[in-house]
């Protein structure tokens, strides 16, 4: 443990949902209003090269709890059931004398009881002593359950982010001794209300809005019967009360800056999505401010390490609109800010992956026992004792895998039954993935080296099923 870090510091892990790296002012966004997080960044350490191990919700969130890659813990997509078979993050902290509390969206995998959005049975909660799990991405009327799975109706009609802050605040006020608190906000994820999207009246309303606002939605987008695809194509605040109106009022869609890879046909639609997205980010910023204020009021701020990050990003560009799970920077690159006693100030170019969070938290708290984990602790980077902790990190989902080293991103795909190179991106020169260098003769050696390194790393972590040649299998 660093000499400036208190023995057994409090750890506050704030995990947002679908917040891309470029979604904060402290990462260079000129439009979004995030004064609290910008100040947290100035007072702490900003990671410039933090990525999601798997840029969709469930696999990444299960990785945070287990410290394992998706192929190791078994949740490789949002539809997989989470069945814990290893010691969880909270269990290590419990053993070290910490109080542990989980607040907000879990989504470690598909819902164990379909009609209970977000419910996780006690034996699958990975040892968290206090559990205030909620449903996912409704934003208003987010389901909150008691330990037995009964709905807590006290929170009906309230905005989800504010409810989560209140639950976390209650734990902080009543805490005794060191604690680990994981606070999960659902923002800026879109609201997922399939019943609304399936209604014929909703479909007709969208057609009217498309014509009236010149959104440029195609007939295919308008008639897609899948509600999970539908909510990716229409800004939700045009249909329902998505979040408190004052946050939306902060932004003029027509004045928002578009990434250069946004097709002109989707310019208007993307600006409306950005208005909605930034409004939710600003809401989270305010809620984080409330938590920091409470820590200061309770005299706990000076002994609390705060880590702010996200499970994955959001495309909002290149024709994907609201989307994730693809090998593009807006999907897999996420913010990560660390602030607190003993934490270095400034920024770091050390590469960091979701799978590294578990061992990092253990080392920050001075807890032993994570040596068998596949991730690499960045605690010494956070304390300013080292410049980097590893040369590269693995990223992937379903049919693709990628290697990210802070300068280049290289990816392969196996949909054909064999591993095929797909892209090589110079992320320093090309932050919007517009120039694939895979077939550039000048980059041939880089591609070959990264391919070899990627295959070797996949073998070493046991992700060998992805590498199997299936072309001749029956």
> Tell me, what CATH number does 455's domain have?
3.30.1120.10
Arithmetic mean of pLDDT, 125-145 = 85
369 phi-psi bin (left φ>0, alpha ψ -120 to 50, beta other): left
- Which residue would you say has higher pLDDT here, 145 or 411? 411
pLDDT in tens, 177-196: 899 999 999 999 988 777 78
The count of structural domains within the chain is 2
Tell whether 355 is covered by a domain. Answer: yes
What is the percent of the chain with per-residue pLDDT over 90, rounded to a whole number? 74
Q: Where is the domain boundary, 390, 413, 447?
A: 390
Q: Is the pLDDT of residue 422 over 80?
A: yes
Confidence at residue 192, expressed as pLDDT on a 0 to 100 scale: 77
Same-domain check for residues 284 and 308 = yes
Tell whether 184 is covered by a domain. Answer: yes
The CATH number for 314's domain is: 3.40.720.10
Same-domain check for residues 287 and 166 = yes
Arithmetic mean of pLDDT, 69-74 = 96
- Which residue would you say has higher pLDDT here, 3 or 135? 135
pLDDT in tens, 362-412: 999 999 987 799 999 999 999 999 998 899 999 999 999 999 999 999 999
Tell whether 266 is covered by a domain. Answer: no
Confidence at residue 317, expressed as pLDDT on a 0 to 100 scale: 86
Tell whether 93 is covered by a domain. Answer: yes
pLDDT in tens, 310-325: 999 999 988 888 999 9
Tell whether 198 is covered by a domain. Answer: no
What's the mean pLDDT when you consider all of the chain? 93
Tell whether 222 is covered by a domain. Answer: no
Q: How far apart are CA 346 and CA 374, in angstroms?
A: 27
Our CA angle for 250, 186, 349, nearest 5°, is 85
Q: Is the pLDDT of residue 117 over 60?
A: yes
Confidence at residue 472, expressed as pLDDT on a 0 to 100 scale: 67
279 band by pLDDT with thresholds 50, 70 and 90 = very high
Same-domain check for residues 315 and 354 = yes
328 band by pLDDT with thresholds 50, 70 and 90 = very high
Same-domain check for residues 116 and 95 = yes
Q: Is the pLDDT of residue 92 over 90?
A: yes
Tell whether 181 is covered by a domain. Answer: yes
Residue with tokens 């023995």: 7
Same-domain check for residues 38 and 77 = yes
pLDDT in tens, 190-231: 887 777 888 889 889 999 999 999 999 888 888 887 777 777
pLDDT in tens, 281-309: 999 999 999 999 999 999 999 999 999 99
Q: Where is the domain boundary, 390, 413, 442?
A: 390
413 band by pLDDT with thresholds 50, 70 and 90 = very high
Residue whose C-alpha is closest to residue 145's, from 172, 181, 118:
118
Confidence at residue 149, expressed as pLDDT on a 0 to 100 scale: 80
Tell whether 325 is covered by a domain. Answer: yes
Same-domain check for residues 361 and 404 = no
Confidence at residue 473, expressed as pLDDT on a 0 to 100 scale: 56
Are residues 384 and 81 in contact, defined by beta-carbon separation less than 8 angstroms?
no
φ, ψ dihedrals at 278, nearest 5°: -65, -35
Confidence at residue 223, expressed as pLDDT on a 0 to 100 scale: 83
Containing domain of residue 429, as a range?
399-467
Same-domain check for residues 303 and 437 = no
Same-domain check for residues 318 and 179 = yes
Q: Where is the domain boundary, 368, 390, 412?
A: 390
1 band by pLDDT with thresholds 50, 70 and 90 = low
Same-domain check for residues 40 and 121 = yes
Q: In terms of pTM, does the model score above 0.85?
A: yes
Confidence at residue 49, expressed as pLDDT on a 0 to 100 scale: 98
Same-domain check for residues 129 and 184 = yes
Same-domain check for residues 339 and 428 = no
Q: Is the pLDDT of residue 335 over 60?
A: yes
251 band by pLDDT with thresholds 50, 70 and 90 = very high
Same-domain check for residues 407 and 279 = no
């Amino acid at each position: 443990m660093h000499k400036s870090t208190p023995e057994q510091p409090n750890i506050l892990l704030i995990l947002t949902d679908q917040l891309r790296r470029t979604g904060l002012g402290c990462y260079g966004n000129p439009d979004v209003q995030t004064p609290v997080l910008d100040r947290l960044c100035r007072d702490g350490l900003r990671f410039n090269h933090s990525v999601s191990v798997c840029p969709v919700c469930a696999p990444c969130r299960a990785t945070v709890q287990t410290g394992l890659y998706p192929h190791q813990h078994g949740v490789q997509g949002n539809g997989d059931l989470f069945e814990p078979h290893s010691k969880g993050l909270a269990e290590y902290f419990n053993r070290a004398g910490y109080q542990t509390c989980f607040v907000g969206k879990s989504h470690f995998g598909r819902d164990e009881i379909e009609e209970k959005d977000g419910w996780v049975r006690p034996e699958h909660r990975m040892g968290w002593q206090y559990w205030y799990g909620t449903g996912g991405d409704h934003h208003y009327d987010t389901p909150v359950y008691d330990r037995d799975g009964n709905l807590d109706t006290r929170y009906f009609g309230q905005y989800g982010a504010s409810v989560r802050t209140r639950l976390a605040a209650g734990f902080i006020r009543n805490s005794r001794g060191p604690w680990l608190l994981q606070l999960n906000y659902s923002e800026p994820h879109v609201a997922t209300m399939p019943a609304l999207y399936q209604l014929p009246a909703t479909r007709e309303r969208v057609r009217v809005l498309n014509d009236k606002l010149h959104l440029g939605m195609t007939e295919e987008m308008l008639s897609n019967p899948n509600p999970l695809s539908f909510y990716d194509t229409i800004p939700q605040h045009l249909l329902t009360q998505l979040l408190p109106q004052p946050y939306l009022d902060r932004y003029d869609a027509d004045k928002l800056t578009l990434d250069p890879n946004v097709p002109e046909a989707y310019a208007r639609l993307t600006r409306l999505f950005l208005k909605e997205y930034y409004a939710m980010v600003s809401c989270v910023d305010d809620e984080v401010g409330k938590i920091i204020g409470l820590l200061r009021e309770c005299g706990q701020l000076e002994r609390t390490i705060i880590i702010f990050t996200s499970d994955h990003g959001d495309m909002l560009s290149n024709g994907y609109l609201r989307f994730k799970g693809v090998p593009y920077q807006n999907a897999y690159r996420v913010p990560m800010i660390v602030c607190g006693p003993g934490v270095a100030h400034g920024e770091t170019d050390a590469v960091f992956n979701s799978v590294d969070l578990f061992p990092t938290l253990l080392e920050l708290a001075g807890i032993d026992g994570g040596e068998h984990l596949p991730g690499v602790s960045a605690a010494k980077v956070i304390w300013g004792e080292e410049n980097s902790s590893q040369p590269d990190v693995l990223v992937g989902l379903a049919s693709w895998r990628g290697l990210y080293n802070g300068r280049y991103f290289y990816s392969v795909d196996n949909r054909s039954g064999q591993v095929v190179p797909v892209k090589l991106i110079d992320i320093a020169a090309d932050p919007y993935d517009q120039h694939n260098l895979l077939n550039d003769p000048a980059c041939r050696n880089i591609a070959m080296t990264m391919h070899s390194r990627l295959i070797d790393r996949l073998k070493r972590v046991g992700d060998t099923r992805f590498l199997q040649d299936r072309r001749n299998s029956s």
